[in-house]
Every structure is written in structure tokens, then in C-alpha cells.
Amino acid sequence: MADGDAAAVVVVFDFDKTIIEWDSDDWVITKLGASDAFSRLRPTMRWNPLMDRMMAELHAQGRSADDIRECLNSAPLDAHVLSAIRTASALGCDLRVVSDANAFFIETVLEHHGVLGCFSEINTNPARVDGDGRLRISPFHDPDSSPHGCSLCPDNMCKGKIIERIQATANGKRHFIYIGDGRGDYCPSLKLGEGDYVMPKENYPLWNLISSNTQLLKAEVHPWNNGEELERTLLKLVNKLITPPAQASQFDYKCEMSNPVSTEVGHHQALRVPH
């Protein structure tokens, strides 16, 4: 990769407990009063259909999609993480989200904090508001009609297959930095090669899985603990891969003016974020 070829750096973010410090499903269920229903149904349902059912419970309680949006917007987001996203985008990196949350939650939070436009693509479970005003959540991979066949991942999403698709469009000319925390982030980490980096959140499932056998990963591992460390570590790695512009004041913070993305998206589709 030639010096200054920032577009050849792909930064992939998980969402829950990575971009945000909290779990978006848990935040909405707890704050909007559906914890009892969640506890009752959790032993009987897989996570993705359970979240769709929880949205039905909230709708039955008179909670609107706008109520869910306001709930998400009330949650804190670390300023260091926002800064990291804006700076990496301004340096020309290609930022993506790969998350087992859902499109409505992710877009709501990123748009509220002014960084939705920093991301070229959001890969997550599709979500839409139906004709009755109820939020519907669908699986990214439909386990019934198109099972992904990966034993490491939940049946509704294999993040490794998403990474492989992004890699296929790169023709081996792009460096990847993958940032995540959960068990579902392990499969995509195994897909990374030499010259790539994985940033696991320390003492979370991804970190524990990597630590159990570090020889399985080809990518270089750089752990982090909090938003400040995420920002410092990410920008250190980006700066290793590119030659930054001479004057930071010339950065075009295009992500501060972001546009909402349609939450109507079919299975296996990523959400394209217009700039």
C-alpha cells in the first residue's frame, strides 16, 4: 500500500459495548419497562426473534417507534469514541459497522450523535416500522431459508462471512482494523490476515477467546479497556498505515452532517450510507 492511501484502511466496528458502552437491546427493554416479559420469554426463544417479540410487547404497551428512538437518544456515548470515529473518517478510512443489533437502533444512535455519515456501510439485522407503527426486527441471515453454516456464530448472523465479502471487494489491497468485544466478533477476527489488526475489548468474550489460543490469529492484537484507550489505539494503528495530512485543520469532517438511512432492507443486504 502506498503511503497516504488512507482509503485502503478499512475500520470495522461492532456496535454494542464497542461504539456504545452499553447493550442497546438491554437499554431499551429495561428503560421502557419490558424486563418482566423478557425474563419470561428468554429461556424459550433465540435472541433475534426474541427482540422482535420484545418490540411487539412494547407496542402492546403503547410504546411507539418514536418512544424507542427517544430512549436510545437518552443513552450516553463516550466522547473519545465519537472523536475516534470522526478522526478516522476525516483521515479517509473506510468505516463500517458489523453488528448483531439492528438497523433502527444503530442508525438512531449514530445519527443522534452526528456520526452516521462517517460510515460507508452498516451490516446488521434489518429493522422496519410496519403499518401499525410497530418496530419489526428480522435476521440478517434467515436460518430457515439460507443458513450460514458457521458453527462459531449465532444462526442469524455470521460476521466472518460479512468480513469475507468486504475482503473480496478489496482484492487484497486493503488493511483491516476490527474492533469488537463479543463472542460473535471471534469468527471475523479469524478471517483477518497479516498486516491487519484486531482490537478486542479487554476481559470480554472476544479477548478471552483470542487469549485462549493466540496462535489461531494472523492479525496483530491490540486490546483496549475504555473509550479513551479505543481512540488512542485506533488512531495509533491508522497512523501506522497512512501518512496523515500535514495540517489537521484541513480535515473535512463530512460525518458531522449525516443523512438517515432507510431501515427497509432485505436479508443479506448492507445499508449504504449516503454522504
Q: What three-state secondary structure class fits 139? A: coil
185 as an active site residue: the answer is no
* Ordered domains of the chain (ranges, CATH): 8-242 (3.40.50.1000)
Q: Is 78 annotated as a binding residue?
A: no
CA dist., res. 85 & res. 146, Å (int)? 33
Give yes or no for residue 147 having a pLDDT over 90.
no
Residue 72's pLDDT is what?
Answer: 98
In the set 5, 14, 155, 185, the catalytic residue is: 14
16 as an active site residue: the answer is yes
Residue 100's pLDDT is what?
Answer: 95
Residue 264's pLDDT is what?
Answer: 37
Residue 143's pLDDT is what?
Answer: 66
Q: Is 26 annotated as a binding residue?
A: no
Phi, psi of 160 (to 5 degrees): -60, -40
* Residue position matching grid coordinates 434489518: 126
| In the chain, alpha helices (H) | 24-31, 35-41, 47-60, 65-73, 79-90, 103-112, 159-168, 186-191, 205-212, 227-241
Cell numbers of 215, please?
A: 496462535
Q: Which of 199, 196, 7, 15 is nearest to 88 (CA)?
A: 7
Residue 99's pLDDT is what?
Answer: 97
Give yes or no for residue 193 having a pLDDT over 80.
yes
**Average model confidence (pLDDT) for the chain?**
87
In the set 16, 52, 94, 185, the catalytic residue is: 16
Q: Is 14 annotated as a binding residue?
A: yes
CA dist., res. 271 & res. 260, Å (int)? 11
Q: Residue 64: what residue type?
A: S
Q: Is 67 annotated as a binding residue?
A: no
Residue 153's pLDDT is what?
Answer: 87
Give yes or no for residue 152 having a pLDDT over 90.
no
pTM: 0.86
